[in-house]
């Protein structure tokens, strides 16, 4: 389980970094919308990359207060459900 948690965190770090988000600003507590200034198109892009990498469908929210950590938990829950 720890391995997959690491993989998800690393994947999010890489996805956000490739989208041009400064790596220093990517923390678990960073809000996707308010802090990282991601928009709805970015959310679609993140969703597609997560589908590619983990074959899960996650609705990425940038309007509310969802953080990088929240998103990681969502992805892990989906992976968990898929493998159950």
Interface residues with other proteins (CB under 8 A) are 18-22, 37, 41-42, 44-45, 48, 51-52
Between 18 and 80, whose beta carbon lies closer to other proteins? 18
The least CB distance from residue 72 to other proteins, in Å, is 21
How far CA 15 is from CA of 11, 55, 81, 83, 84, in Å, comes to: 6, 15, 23, 23, 26
Q: State in angstroms the smallest separation of the CB of 30 from other proteins.
A: 15
Segment (H or E) for 74: helix 68-83
Both tokens assigned to 49? 């990359």
Q: Which is nearer to other proteins, 5 or 31 (CB)?
A: 31
């Amino acid at each position: 389980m720890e391995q997959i948690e690491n993989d998800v965190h690393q994947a999010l770090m890489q996805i956000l970094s490739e989208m041009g988000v400064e790596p220093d600003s990517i923390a678990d507590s960073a809000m996707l919308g308010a802090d990282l200034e991601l928009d709805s198109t970015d959310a679609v892009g993140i969703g597609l990359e997560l589908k590619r990498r983990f074959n899960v469908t996650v609705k990425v929210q940038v309007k509310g207060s969802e953080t990088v950590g929240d998103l990681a938990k969502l992805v892990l829950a989906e992976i968990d459900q898929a493998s159950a």
